[in-house]
Structure 1
Amino acid sequence: MNNPAISVVMPVYNVEKYVAEAIESVLAQTFTDFELVIVDDGGSDSSMEICETFDDARIHIVKQSNRGLAGARNTGISAARGDYIALIDSDDRWEAEKLALHKIHLDNNPEVGVSYSGSQFIDQNGNMLRQAQRPKLENVTAKDVLTRNPVGNGSAPVIRKTALDIVAFRHPQEPMRICYFDETFRQSEDIELWIRMALTGEYAFEGIDGNLTQYRIVSGGLSANIAAQYESWNRVIEKTNKKAPGFIAQFGDEARAYQLRYLARRSVQMGDGAFALSLLKDAYAISAKPLIKEPLKSAVTYAAAGVIRFLPANLSSKIASGWTGVKVAT
């Protein structure tokens, strides 16, 4: 049997509400020469029973005890047979032409190691929101990867396997296993890998037009989750600083300010305007570059946080729901 051109890697862990939509969006791709490697990461709900109802020879299920998202992706990549690796999280969806367009891009640009696109946000019920990720697509530098993460989310990239092989390493406690993502990270594992890949300079990051990923925003959550995400991101910076101290010295403050603004926007999505305003204050105390370089986006973030913080909850929920997909926390 010939190897497929693309291996789609989908970790699955307790996503019974969404996983069927994710699989259906992969099987509906106009480009058909792919395999779908579903990694059962040891969940406890009916997610895998749902996966097993799909009768398609391109689907392969790999089972493991729980290792988290990074570990599940590593297992899927190691089992993959394609020259290109497409990642999709099991609560997201793709537009039908996504794989076809990324394959054209990678086939015709051998210097590109990570191909990605913009993403449209959807709410927990799959309805389109007015928010989208529209990243920088060309002339992407290592600084861009650190400060702005143009890849955006874990369902956006299609990656050349040889680019992943350059940064692969053996698991410290299990040397028979090859890692691409660092499994010590339960959050921020994607940006850690992108920075590591960008700093090699071996392959380029480049995007293509269109919001080809539908990225799901699930309501709920606590400010503690945002704090944990920021702590994890800081661990990425600390790890990178050990290998590239000059790089972090030059761009670390700007990256931190952008990250805090991003987390402020996540707080808005969770309905916590007060915490969002606090994060924005911290961001611009570290660096004013997000204000200078992206004044409109910064102003909109401030305005959204203020609306949720100061207007009555019923009114601010009505205004915000079409953007964030969630009701304001009360």
Structure 2
Amino acid sequence: MNRDITVTILMPVYNGAAYLNEAIDSILAQTYSNFNLLIINDGSKDNTQAIIDSYSDSRIISVEQENMGVSRSLNKGLSMINTPYVRRHDADDISETWMLEWQVNFLETHKDVAAVSTRCNFMTENSKISESHLQPKDHIFEGKELIYAQREHFEPFCPIVHGSVLCRTEIFEEFGGYRTEFLTSEDNDLWLRIIEKYKFAILNKSPYKLRLNPGSATQMHKSSGTFFRNLALLYADERMVKGSDPFQRGEALTDIKYEIITEDLSKLAENGKLFAGNYLNFLYKVAISSKDYKLAFFLIKESLKVGWKLSNTWRAIFFPILGDKFVKTGMSIKKMFK
């Protein structure tokens, strides 16, 4: 790679053809142009590579490989990078044109900060952006322009949006990159390790648009995400007390418990008594807020298929449509008659 380049944007992708053009285009349109875009095609079965090859921009470097998974792909990419900065970017998300320049300027003028992330707006599969659904939430900033990530900020959700992170490359190297024992939440684990020693800034602006894909939401399997996220928090707490965690002591991860039996869920779905929380608790609200009525209708239909007998399903469908003001008024009236 050209050593005059300041930033390498690292993007792993697996079967990302549906949204890859939007992601790449948003990167190539950055006002800060002194970067390489390193795309790791992690064994895609669709036309991901054809999309990558359709670009003639010399800043794009692509690597094809057999499927290795996200954390191993990221570590492989990190091993290839010799630029001072690494910017993460997911293959289905979008960055505002000024984002990279803003972040580079921040780290250039804050030499004591190891990494910087931003807030994100959530976006539907149809590229509809919700202006009212952001991560992290407003309250974490307390009106400040930025905060530095602390252990307490990681509950209930990680405050660092993975795809928005710009980090000094030497920091990734110092911490050995991502720990592949974490099948998910490998980013949570890395950020928690970094903040124990260095400043990690979170800026109170939202130039990053994070896409939510309903195809990954399922009510038939419990996600491993909760298990590994809790493990990352547990290990962080253990490092504070003992000075190391089991992986650092060379201990193997055992007793992985995150799968649940699906037969009971199937029976509930057949009887119309399964609440589709992965759809209605958040994704549906983003669809309504962003006016993505096509997605909202799909989520309503799928949720009613499995949960039409539940009052919770109907409330979750109608309350976002009626709006917070209507719901609060209704709750107040209900309390008056108790």
1:309 aligned to which of 308, 312, 319:
312
TM-score (ref. length: structure 1): 0.70
Give runs of aligned pairs for residues 12-27 of structure 1, distance below 5 A: 12-27=13-28
Q: CA deviation at 1:309?
A: 2.2
What stretches of structure 1 of length at least 5 have no aligned partner? 169-179, 249-263, 273-306, 321-330
Equivalent residue for 1:102? Answer: 103
Cα distance in structure 2, aligned partners of 1:148 and 1:318: 26
Q: Any idea what the Cα deviations from partners look like across 1:157-182, whole Å, max 9, x if unmatched?
A: 101112212211xxxxxxxxxxx111
Report if aligned partners of 2:7, 2:86 keep a CA contact under 8 Å in 1: yes
1:217 is aligned to 2:209:
no
Give runs of aligned pairs for residues 138-217 of structure 1, distance below 5 A: 138-145=147-154, 148-151=157-160, 153-168=161-176, 180-199=177-196, 201=197, 203-217=198-212
Report if aligned partners of 2:214, 2:279 keep a CA contact under 8 Å in 1: no
Equivalent residue for 2:61? Answer: 60
Aligned partner of 1:60: which letter?
I
RMSD: 2.8
Give runs of aligned pairs for residues 1-330 of structure 1, distance below 5 A: 1-129=2-130, 130-134=132-136, 136=141, 137-145=146-154, 148-151=157-160, 153-168=161-176, 180-199=177-196, 201=197, 203-220=198-215, 221-224=217-220, 226-245=222-241, 268-270=281-283, 309-311=312-314, 315=318, 318=321
Aligned partner of 1:232: which letter?
F
Cα distance in structure 2, aligned partners of 1:33 and 1:47: 25
Q: CA deviation at 1:311?
A: 2.6
- Change in Cα spacing, 1:267 to 1:233, as seen in structure 2 (3 Å) is farther
Larger Cα Rg: Structure 1 or Structure 2? Answer: 2
Report if aligned partners of 1:241, 1:247 keep a CA contact under 8 Å in 2: no
Cα distance in structure 1, aligned partners of 2:322 and 2:67: 40
Q: CA deviation at 1:143?
A: 3.4
Cα distance in structure 1, aligned partners of 2:136 and 2:152: 18
Q: CA deviation at 1:185?
A: 1.9
Secondary structure of residue in 1 paired with 2:101: helix
Q: CA deviation at 1:67?
A: 1.4
Report if aligned partners of 2:219, 2:278 keep a CA contact under 8 Å in 1: no
- Change in Cα spacing, 1:226 to 1:117, as seen in structure 2 (3 Å) is farther
What stretches of structure 2 of length at least 5 have no aligned partner? 245-276, 286-309, 324-338
Aligned partner of 1:233: which letter?
R
Cα distance in structure 2, aligned partners of 1:225 and 1:132: 26
Report if aligned partners of 1:11, 1:89 keep a CA contact under 8 Å in 2: yes
- Change in Cα spacing, 1:311 to 1:90, as seen in structure 2 (3 Å) is same
Secondary structure of residue in 2 paired with 1:155: helix
Q: Any idea what the Cα deviations from partners look like across 1:104-135, whole Å, max 9, x if unmatched?
A: 00000011111011111110011112311245
Secondary structure of residue in 2 paired with 1:126: coil
Identity percentage over the alignment?
23
TM-score (ref. length: structure 2): 0.69
Q: Any idea what the Cα deviations from partners look like across 1:283-320, whole Å, max 9, x if unmatched?
A: xxxxxxxxxxxxxxxxxxxxxxxx99253676457569
- Change in Cα spacing, 1:143 to 1:13, as seen in structure 2 (3 Å) is same
Q: Any idea what the Cα deviations from partners look like across 1:182-218, whole Å, max 9, x if unmatched?
A: 112221111011011112x1x2011223201100011
Cα distance in structure 2, aligned partners of 1:308 and 1:185: 37
More helix by share: 1
Report if aligned partners of 1:8, 1:35 keep a CA contact under 8 Å in 2: yes
Report if aligned partners of 1:115, 1:208 keep a CA contact under 8 Å in 2: yes
Report if aligned partners of 2:281, 2:316 keep a CA contact under 8 Å in 1: no
Report if aligned partners of 2:280, 2:317 keep a CA contact under 8 Å in 1: no
- Change in Cα spacing, 1:266 to 1:247, as seen in structure 2 (3 Å) is farther
How many residues are paired up?
257
